Amino acid sequence: MPLPPRIVLIAALALVACGRTTYQTEGDLLAVDSGGATIAHDEIPGVMQAMTMRFPARPVSVLDGARPGTRVRLQVVREGNALILVGLEPLGTARGAGQNVHDHSPRHGGVVREVEGVHVELAASPDGRVRGYLSDAGRRPLPARDAMGTVRLNLPSGTRTLTFADAGDALEARTAPFDVESATADVALVIHGTPLEVSVLLDLTGKRAGVALAPQTGCVPPDAVPAGARAPRCTVTFGSTFTAIGTTPGGERAIIAVTHGATTVWSLPDATLVMGIEPLPAIAVALGAHEPDPRVVAVRPDGSEVVVAAGPRLVLYDGATGRFRRQLEGPGGSIEALAWSPDGTRLLVASGGKARLLDAGEGRVLRTLGGEGQVLAVALDANGRYAAAGTDLGTVIVTDLGNDDPPRVLAPSLQPLAAVAFAGDRLVTAGTDGTLRLVDTASGRETGRTDVGAPLRMLALAPDGRHAATADAERTIRVHRLPDGAVVERLDWHRATIGVLAWGAGQTIVAGDNDAALAVWDVPAAR
């Protein structure tokens, strides 16, 4: 149903009265929630390039009658770093009508799971209330009166099975107040005679993101370890392979992303599941395709934000709650690597073969690092002065961000570099030639090297900067002493290629392989 023209007009007049500039463009309306809309919009001249993003709506009445799948004219104003939707006018059928929209974002602060074309969002509050919100495949609300069922909460004090009742816009069940922060919730519903079952990790505080698809196990001792063999302290079995891992600055938490699954947050070194990271914002994809998986996860140095890179976009979440904050479109091409500046104001990203320094607030490109070759890895030093970009030519482009001098090009390898990192005044490189190298950042002089005899794929530094871990193409993890790079421990348990590697709090290494096994290692040699 078309929006009443007076709504758009009133909103526009209000803006003029407030003296704010109104920006206008067109786009495909992908999703509508209680407080905003997700739109794949064209360029907003003078503001941003074309992208898909969620706009908060003020007043929310501008969303009245809005239907996903339509082409719209939108009006926005800027408030700080945010763009606020103040006008919306339908124009016809969306241009991407032959596409699917992937939208599993919560609308009511809960956790969403889709089954048989129905989205079930489960939300809880500390007072013992559990609500279930239902929507169809296009995220249009379904009436609660058409459903019935139960939710079973697996609490430390025992299991509580609650019966849902119709509460108007949702199903609702009540019990005694909760005294824990989260619990596994098993939901059994019947909708028009069709049974639906979902299980999620439900946040009971009402503040944090839950987990729509939890791992198959907690961290348990590995099976079938030969006598005397070195083995991880415990392993977690996931339902799909790993795509990215990041850790908080001190290594107290690890954020783990998997293929077509939930992104989860774990405490270290105990390896306990803490909470989730909300799903990526809605995006339109070709029929039969899936949205890009997260490829990079990085935590802002003060821990306040987590950035997830998926395809060309950067999605930022609250570091304490896992809730969605905002989205930035990258500078072009799939983002393969990124690093935060120490003060959290800039992001160095590798995409489209280039390394670019971005404003972390708006996503503007501040500087493009010159040099030949395709950039595969990036790093920023602890002072935010030097930027490093490793290339497929085996070179490292080192740029002093404090001046406009031409970058220095180092050539530590004749083969592509898999990873680069700064450890104090040293630059550490891991090459597919099988060599870990340490280079003095100021002079470019090589100060240490270790040849492991197999192509290196990954590199992780200990939080204290005194050790590094590498993973090679033959499934071996090595612990290197810095600054000379000598191997002090070798870990050979993994039976599949290692896909993610990180160093957590204390002497803890976390590695996920392509058998969907996450191993948590204690490394006494790193003391």
Residuewise pLDDT in 10s, the chain (527 residues): 444 444 443 444 343 334 578 999 999 888 787 678 888 899 998 888 787 788 889 998 999 988 877 899 999 999 877 899 999 999 988 876 556 677 888 989 999 999 988 999 999 999 999 999 999 887 888 999 999 999 999 999 999 999 999 999 999 999 999 999 999 999 999 999 999 999 999 999 999 999 999 999 999 999 877 777 789 999 999 999 999 999 999 999 999 999 988 999 999 999 999 999 999 987 776 656 667 899 999 999 999 999 999 999 999 999 999 999 988 888 888 999 999 999 999 999 999 999 999 999 989 999 999 789 999 999 999 999 999 999 999 999 999 999 988 999 998 888 999 999 999 999 999 999 999 999 998 888 999 999 999 999 999 999 989 999 999 999 999 999 999 999 999 999 999 999 999 999 978 999 999 999 999 999 988 77
How far, CA to CA in Å, does 177 sit from each of 6, 126, 129, 470?
46, 6, 8, 47
How confident is the model at residue 9, as a pLDDT? 39
224: Cβ contacts below 8 Å, ≥ 6 apart: none
Which residue in 369, 376, 424 sits closest to 401, CA to CA? 369
AA letter at 483: P
Which residue in 235, 218, 128 sits closest to 178, CA to CA? 128
Strand partners, 352: none
How confident is the model at residue 329, as a pLDDT? 80
AA letter at 335: I
What is the Cα–Cα distance from 58 to 21, expressed in whole angstroms? 15
Bond before 269 cis per omega within 30 degrees: yes
Question: Which tokens go with 399?
Answer: 């740029």
How confident is the model at residue 288, as a pLDDT? 61
How confident is the model at residue 468, as a pLDDT? 96
Question: Which tokens go with 417?
Answer: 């570099």
- Reply yes or no on domain 235-281+293-458 having CATH 2.130.10.10: yes
What ranges do the domains of the chain cover?
Answer: 5-95, 102-203, 235-281+293-458
The top-level CATH class assigned to 5-95 is: mainly beta
What is the Cα–Cα distance from 402 to 423, expressed in whole angstroms? 19
What is the Cα–Cα distance from 308 to 318, expressed in whole angstroms? 11
φ, ψ for residue 220, nearest 5 deg: -120, 155
Alpha carbon dihedral 226, 232, 234, 237, in 10-degree steps, equals -90
3-state secondary structure 162-221: EECEECCCCEEEECCCCCCCEEEEEEEEEECCEEEEEEEEEECCCCCCCECCCCCCCCEC
Instruction: Classify domain 102-203 by CATH number.
Output: 2.60.40
How confident is the model at residue 35, as a pLDDT? 79
